[in-house]
Chain A
Amino acid sequence: MNSKTKKKLFIGIGVVVLLLLLIVFLLFMNWDKIVKKIPTLTIETPHKISIQETEEILLDMSISSFGEAIYPAASMSIAFDSSRLEFVGVEEGNVFIRNEGNDIGQTLPEWSCNPEQCNKTGKINIMYLDTTGGKNAFSKELLAEEDNVVLRLRFRLRGSVRSGDVYDLIFEDAVFAASDENESLAMTRGTLKVRNGKIVMGE
């Protein structure tokens, strides 16, 4: 290989390396945005809970963002170990829905949930349905910059809990439904990410 050829080789390698660096740089700069584009529904895992805890345990379920659509309905199905945890019910979060009927134009959604049934089946089924088809819907205008708690799950520990155990709260399904299903945020369609929660038992 003569010097001229070597020179060409170096230039070629240099160009390739520069291109790779550029690609890596662009990916790095935009990765966060790419990841954040898909709204995520998260069951926030609390700190380790003492097995002696007798008070209710609240787990926030938060949403990272909404899309451009409005969502007149939402539901979640969450599996849990009902032999260890007693699901007590749902508490309101801080994410509003539209409400054209009141002066402030927003209200908190009323979630339908049947704790007795949930404990019987080991699955928490929660649903919100706006029967007006959109006047009382979720929308991104009503989200705060951060800490958007859709609802809170209330549990009590059963006597069967044991120190060191981890009780998973696993999303089996979740959806914020838009009238145009293509605009829905749905776990089944990959347009809604979920992060399961867990209750970790301490001493």
Chain B
Amino acid sequence: MKKRILSILLAIVMVFTMIPSTIFATESENVYISVSYDGQFVTDQNGNTVAYATVPLSELATIDLNNYGLSDYLYDGDGDGNYDITAVHLYIYTHETILGGDFSTVSVSGGAGSIFFESGLFGFEDCNLMYYYNGIYPEVNGWGVTADQLVLQAGDFLDVAGYTSWAFYSDSATGFHYFADDEGNFTHNYSVDSGDELNFKLVRSYSAMGSEAAVYDEAGYEVYYGTSVGEAAGSVTTDSSGEGTITFPTAGTWYLWCDGGYGAENMEDIVSSPTCAVVTVTAQDTPRQPQDVSGVLNATMAQLAATVSAPAFGTNAGEWTVLGLARGEYFAKDHAYFADYYNRIVETVNGTASSVTLQNGALHKSKSTDNSRLIVALSAIGKDATAVGDWNLITPYDDFNWIKKQGLNGVIWALIALDTNDYQTTDITIRQQCIDHILSKQLSDGGWALSGTASDPDVTAMVLQALYPYKSQESVATAADEAFACLSNIQNADGTYSSFGDANSESCAQVIVASTTWGFNPDTDRRFVKNGKSVVDALLTHYIEEEAAFKHVAAGTANGMATDQACYALVAYNRFMNSKTALYDMSDVSFADKAEIVAGKPKATLGLPAEITDDIGKTFNATISLDQWDNTAGYKLIDFIMNVPDGLSVTGVTAGNRLNGGTVNYNLEADTGKHRVVYFDANNHSSLTVSGNAFPGQFFTVTFRVDSVNEGDKLNMNLSGMSIKLSSDSTDENAMIVVDTESATGSVDVVKGISYSAVCLYVGDDIDLIPYGKKAVAVSVVGIENATKLTYSDGTNAYEFKYSKEISEAAGVSTYVALVDASIDMAQFAKKANFTLTDNTASEITFGDANGDGVINAQDALAAVDTWLRKTETPSDDEILALNVNSDSRINTFDALGIVEAFVDGSEYMIVTKATTLSTNE
């Protein structure tokens, strides 16, 4: 039994003695080696470059120096009884396993601690080589460490560079190249996301026995990249700091390398080593493409325009709605929607500012945001806040205490408001006080809040909106960087933002405005995208398509404030996408027409046909329109003088359908051509009134008869005076309003035979059902019978025009309309050659008669509503012509109301007024 046990023990001992008496190493521990000659990496037996080749320490552990006759170089540096793995092991492995050489051909000399490879190592014929250990020449106590005592640890890297020329010992450009990371440490690995730029740095390390190690930025050096070392897909040249950037075209493993370089003093000799780094390019999700929100935006604006039909001073149905619609360009700045709003604002400001004890234009003794909110809206519609009614809304901003009475919110909005039109305060330090105050309130997490220590997304975003104009201030720029980082950090996983505990649309809206203000796309910028959901996505999750409105929280219902803020946020985004100025950058707004609507007097326009024939007895009309009327004023009389050229006589003057209370009297003084018209109630002296609210409105139609004119004549006409009188007291300066007749002028060309002229009534803007590519054209034809069939063909496009009885009767000239390709030059519609007249009767268009049944009633008004609500199919061209009675670029509830007003008040449709007052070929 004892013998059996002893034999087993002996067997175990024998097995253990078969294990090399060197060291143990784990497989996961590697070292790395690169071998180059004259600045190029050498290739292994498989043709691969030996550039930081990975060598497991476990492989080196199997190498027994005894087998190579190198037992003198066995080294136990730490005295633990185990021989260490040294560079000699790595050289043997590299020479044999990597390069496929026979180490027995290597000539080795020197004793322990001074091993010297005379020749043959790695195939080099001589001993002209250098080696760096972990980027520097290895030395201990000022003495170089030779390979036999250079103990390798996991992660070590060894560079061996051979040279033909011995200049590498002395040239100032000698050394080993390395890439460096952001902190300046040598690295052989970079990582970057696909599509992103890799920033790299190339340095040259130099050290030698007894000299201090130095690292130089390798400027102007060619760096190559490719999917395998030596096969360059491209290259970049480093800048003066040795840095460069590369964007890799695909994900995967890429390599970055440079060759060794020539000497500074020995310019034909290679004196430095190449280097290489592995670049891991990580595939990203498919880059987000910024989404088009114009559909949602347009529907939201249309809904707001319809439901907030009379915006007034206030946070709801007030300034924010106006801001969205103005900056979204839903209405033109001179649209009645804004004009009426401004009129209401003047009234409010006059009443409110006078009631505030400050008496300086403040609309509230402590809430400066009342002023700021209004200033923002007024700037959006091109109204000067320094002259609103009787007040200057900017004056109170000279008092910083008043501004900040409302806390941080007041200061933020003061800056935003003042910068909408570069309003100047008497105290020129106000802006900086605001900036400093805001910066002083920044929280440690980079954002801002009205209270507490945790940043609120709304307040942080609004601060960013306010500070943008001051980004050149270093403190502002730094704060903004921190604030955007904060916004990124506090974004929820679904892309939303939370304020007061609720993920909500308003917070998303403010972040979108802030982001676009600073020029960042909130839909694609990674800071605002979480789990594939951007803040724009998050905002849109609050949209209720059926109502074209937004919710405050996802589980809620449509909310006015949420809709207002979402609207102007989408406007901000849309402006950003279309390279327009930011939401609050109103440098694109013209402020030239300030307060004109209220302060200005009524303005008259004169509508005339472009042409008439020289046929004696033919008649045509001139229409006189006014842009405003006040039924409460008690006007008693209107009169005007019209200058009429020779050859015409007046056959009649009629008052417009909407004008009530008087009768028309007129006389054309033949000698002077002065045609005098007066409208009043001679019997009862009653007040004159006008039905409906739509302006401009037709007040008078003067019918002329051609008596003797000649082809080629130009008949100039104008109103030389028009007044509206309250009483007969001529000494009372308030008894008469002089109408502005400066624009009430025009001319008619006399032609012979059939002639055509055309005006453009509107061009579709693709927002509400009228496509971009279409425009409505009115063509007037003289010298024909009314309603003769008219077709157009220019060789490319062909249209059958619809006869408009309404326009024809208003102008006294046969007029047709059609919806045509918007790209056709208007001049084409004045060319006789493009038209064909046939004896057939033209089909007619009746504005407002959506269903074409010949009766305009509630069915037609409902059709306009349903069309806008998209409850019915996309309207045909004829339906567009019939429905767009207000002649803007859209079919919406304004057209529905236009139909109601025409039905109830007898108002003429805007499109008729427009057709008779536009200049030819406009």
Considering only CB atoms, which chain A residue lies closest to B660 in the complex? A116
Per a CB cutoff under 8 Å, which of B660, B872, B904 touches A127? B904
Which residues 167-203 in A have Cβ within 8 Å of B in the complex? Answer: 173, 175-179, 181, 184, 186, 188
Most chain B beta carbons < 10 A, residue from A117, A128, A184: A117
- Which chain B residues lie closer than 8 Å to A74 at the CB level? 858
Query: Complex: how many Å from CA A183 to CA B405?
Result: 60
Shortest A189–chain B CB gap in Å is 8
The size of the chain A interface, using a CB distance under 8 A, is: 31
- Whether, in the assembled complex, A9 has its beta carbon less than 8 Å from a beta carbon of chain B, the answer is no
- Whether, in the assembled complex, A63 has its beta carbon less than 8 Å from a beta carbon of chain B, the answer is no
Interface string of A114-158 (1 = CB under 8 A from B): 101100110001111111110000000000000000000000000
Per a CB cutoff under 8 Å, which of B691, B851, B866, B900 touches A116? B691
- Whether, in the assembled complex, B865 has its beta carbon less than 8 Å from a beta carbon of chain A, the answer is yes
Considering only CB atoms, which chain B residue lies closest to A129 in the complex? B861
Per a CB cutoff under 8 Å, which of B858, B905, B906 touches A73? B858
- Whether, in the assembled complex, B738 has its beta carbon less than 8 Å from a beta carbon of chain A, the answer is no
Which residues 632-688 in B have Cβ within 8 Å of A in the complex? Answer: 657-658, 660
Instruction: Decide: A131 and B855 in contact? CB cutoff 8 A.
Output: no
Query: Complex: how many Å from CA A32 to CA B859?
Result: 29
Instruction: Decide: A128 and B862 in contact? CB cutoff 8 A.
Output: no
Most chain A beta carbons < 10 A, residue from B658, B691, B858: B858
Query: Complex: how many Å from CA A131 to CA B692?
Result: 18
Most chain B beta carbons < 10 A, residue from A121, A127, A131: A131
Shortest B368–chain A CB gap in Å is 34
Instruction: Decide: B861 and A73 in contact? CB cutoff 8 A.
Output: yes
Shortest B191–chain A CB gap in Å is 57
Instruction: Decide: A113 and B904 in contact? CB cutoff 8 A.
Output: yes
Shortest A127–chain B CB gap in Å is 5
- Which chain A residues lie closer than 8 Å to B691 at the CB level? 114, 116-117
Instruction: Decide: B866 and A129 in contact? CB cutoff 8 A.
Output: no
- Knowing A116-B689, A120-B660, A131-B896, say if A125 contacts B858 (CB, 8 Å): no
Instruction: Decide: B900 and A127 in contact? CB cutoff 8 A.
Output: yes
Instruction: Decide: B906 and A117 in contact? CB cutoff 8 A.
Output: yes
Query: Complex: how many Å from CA A113 to CA B858?
Result: 13
- Whether, in the assembled complex, A106 has its beta carbon less than 8 Å from a beta carbon of chain B, the answer is no
- Which chain B residues lie closer than 8 Å to A129 at the CB level? 858, 861-862, 865, 896-897, 900
Which residues 11-53 in A have Cβ within 8 Å of B in the complex? Answer: none
- Which chain A residues lie closer than 8 Å to B861 at the CB level? 73, 75, 127, 129, 177
- Which chain B residues lie closer than 8 Å to A133 at the CB level? 862, 865-866, 869, 871
- Which chain A residues lie closer than 8 Å to B853 at the CB level? 188
- Which chain B residues lie closer than 8 Å to A163 at the CB level? none
- Which chain A residues lie closer than 8 Å to B903 at the CB level? 75, 125, 127
Instruction: Decide: A112 and B859 in contact? CB cutoff 8 A.
Output: no
Instruction: Decide: A188 and B905 in contact? CB cutoff 8 A.
Output: no
Per a CB cutoff under 8 Å, which of B865, B904, B906 touches A131? B865
- Which chain B residues lie closer than 8 Å to A121 at the CB level? 906
- Knowing A133-B869, A179-B862, A181-B851, say if A112 contacts B857 (CB, 8 Å): no
Instruction: Decide: A175 and B859 in contact? CB cutoff 8 A.
Output: yes
Instruction: Decide: B871 and A77 in contact? CB cutoff 8 A.
Output: no
- Whether, in the assembled complex, B893 has its beta carbon less than 8 Å from a beta carbon of chain A, the answer is yes
Query: Complex: how many Å from CA A116 to CA B660?
Result: 8
- Which chain B residues lie closer than 8 Å to A73 at the CB level? 858-859, 861-862, 865
- Knowing A72-B865, A116-B660, say if A173 contacts B904 (CB, 8 Å): no
- Which chain B residues lie closer than 8 Å to A184 at the CB level? 859
Instruction: Decide: A125 and B904 in contact? CB cutoff 8 A.
Output: yes
Query: Complex: how many Å from CA A137 to CA B859?
Result: 13
Number of A-B contacts (CB under 8 A): 87
Query: Complex: how many Å from CA A114 to CA B853?
Result: 24
Most chain A beta carbons < 10 A, residue from B657, B658, B865, B896: B865
- Which chain B residues lie closer than 8 Å to A131 at the CB level? 306, 865, 893, 896-897
Query: Complex: how many Å from CA A178 to CA B869?
Result: 14
Interface string of B553-596 (1 = CB under 8 A from A): 00000000000000000000000000000000000000000000
Per a CB cutoff under 8 Å, which of B851, B862, B904, B906 touches A112? B904
- Knowing A129-B900, A133-B871, A179-B871, say if A114 contacts B905 (CB, 8 Å): yes
Query: Complex: how many Å from CA A131 to CA B689?
Result: 27
Shortest B396–chain A CB gap in Å is 38
- Which chain B residues lie closer than 8 Å to A188 at the CB level? 853, 855
Query: Complex: how many Å from CA A179 to CA B862?
Result: 7
Per a CB cutoff under 8 Å, which of B306, B658, B859, B897 touches A177? B859
Interface string of A68-107 (1 = CB under 8 A from B): 0000111101000000000000000000000000000000
Instruction: Decide: A114 and B906 in contact? CB cutoff 8 A.
Output: yes
Considering only CB atoms, which chain B residue lies closest to A120 in the complex? B660
- Knowing A116-B691, A179-B866, A179-B871, say if A75 contacts B660 (CB, 8 Å): no
Query: Complex: how many Å from CA A176 to CA B862?
Result: 10
Query: Complex: how many Å from CA A37 to CA B872?
Result: 28
Query: Complex: how many Å from CA A155 to CA B853?
Result: 31
Shortest B878–chain A CB gap in Å is 16
Interface string of B872-910 (1 = CB under 8 A from A): 100000000000000000000100110010011110000
Considering only CB atoms, which chain A residue lies closest to B692 in the complex? A114
Shortest B664–chain A CB gap in Å is 14
- Which chain B residues lie closer than 8 Å to A114 at the CB level? 691-692, 904-906
Query: Complex: how many Å from CA A113 to CA B903?
Result: 9
Considering only CB atoms, which chain A residue lies closest to B690 in the complex? A116
- Knowing A117-B905, A127-B903, A129-B896, say if A75 contacts B858 (CB, 8 Å): yes
- Which chain A residues lie closer than 8 Å to B904 at the CB level? 112-114, 117, 125-127
Query: Complex: how many Å from CA A39 to CA B874?
Result: 31
- Which chain B residues lie closer than 8 Å to A112 at the CB level? 900, 904
Query: Complex: how many Å from CA A184 to CA B904?
Result: 21
- Knowing A116-B689, A129-B865, say if A177 contacts B906 (CB, 8 Å): no
Shortest A89–chain B CB gap in Å is 12
Query: Complex: how many Å from CA A125 to CA B906?
Result: 9
Per a CB cutoff under 8 Å, which of A117, A132, A177, A179 touches B857? A177
- Which chain B residues lie closer than 8 Å to A126 at the CB level? 904
Query: Complex: how many Å from CA A130 to CA B896?
Result: 10
- Which chain B residues lie closer than 8 Å to A113 at the CB level? 904
Instruction: Decide: B857 and A128 in contact? CB cutoff 8 A.
Output: no
- Which chain B residues lie closer than 8 Å to A116 at the CB level? 660, 689, 691
Considering only CB atoms, which chain B residue lies closest to A172 in the complex? B855
Query: Complex: how many Å from CA A120 to CA B905?
Result: 11
Query: Complex: how many Å from CA A77 to CA B691?
Result: 17
Query: Complex: how many Å from CA A184 to CA B863?
Result: 12
Instruction: Decide: B862 and A177 in contact? CB cutoff 8 A.
Output: yes
Considering only CB atoms, which chain B residue lies closest to A111 in the complex? B904
Shortest B436–chain A CB gap in Å is 48
Most chain B beta carbons < 10 A, residue from A75, A121, A184: A75
Query: Complex: how many Å from CA A186 to CA B851?
Result: 13
Which residues 831-865 in B have Cβ within 8 Å of A in the complex? Answer: 851, 853, 855, 857-859, 861-862, 865
- Knowing A113-B904, A116-B691, A129-B900, say if A177 contacts B858 (CB, 8 Å): yes
Query: Complex: how many Å from CA A71 to CA B35?
Result: 89
Shortest A1–chain B CB gap in Å is 61
- Which chain A residues lie closer than 8 Å to B858 at the CB level? 73-75, 127-129, 175-177
Shortest A38–chain B CB gap in Å is 17
- Knowing A117-B691, A133-B869, say if A72 contacts B862 (CB, 8 Å): yes
User: What are 18 inter-chain pairs, A to B, with CB distance below 8 A?
Assistant: A72-B862, A73-B862, A75-B858, A112-B904, A114-B692, A114-B904, A114-B905, A114-B906, A116-B660, A116-B689, A117-B904, A120-B660, A125-B904, A129-B865, A131-B893, A133-B871, A175-B859, A176-B858
A-B contact sample (8 more), CB < 8 A, given A129-B896, A133-B871: A73-B859, A73-B862, A75-B859, A117-B660, A120-B660, A125-B904, A131-B306, A131-B865
Q: Name A residues whose Cβ lies closer than 8 Å to a Cβ of B.
A: 72-75, 77, 112-114, 116-117, 120-121, 125-133, 173, 175-179, 181, 184, 186, 188
Closest 6 CB pairs of A and B: A75-B858, A73-B858, A73-B862, A177-B859, A75-B857, A177-B862
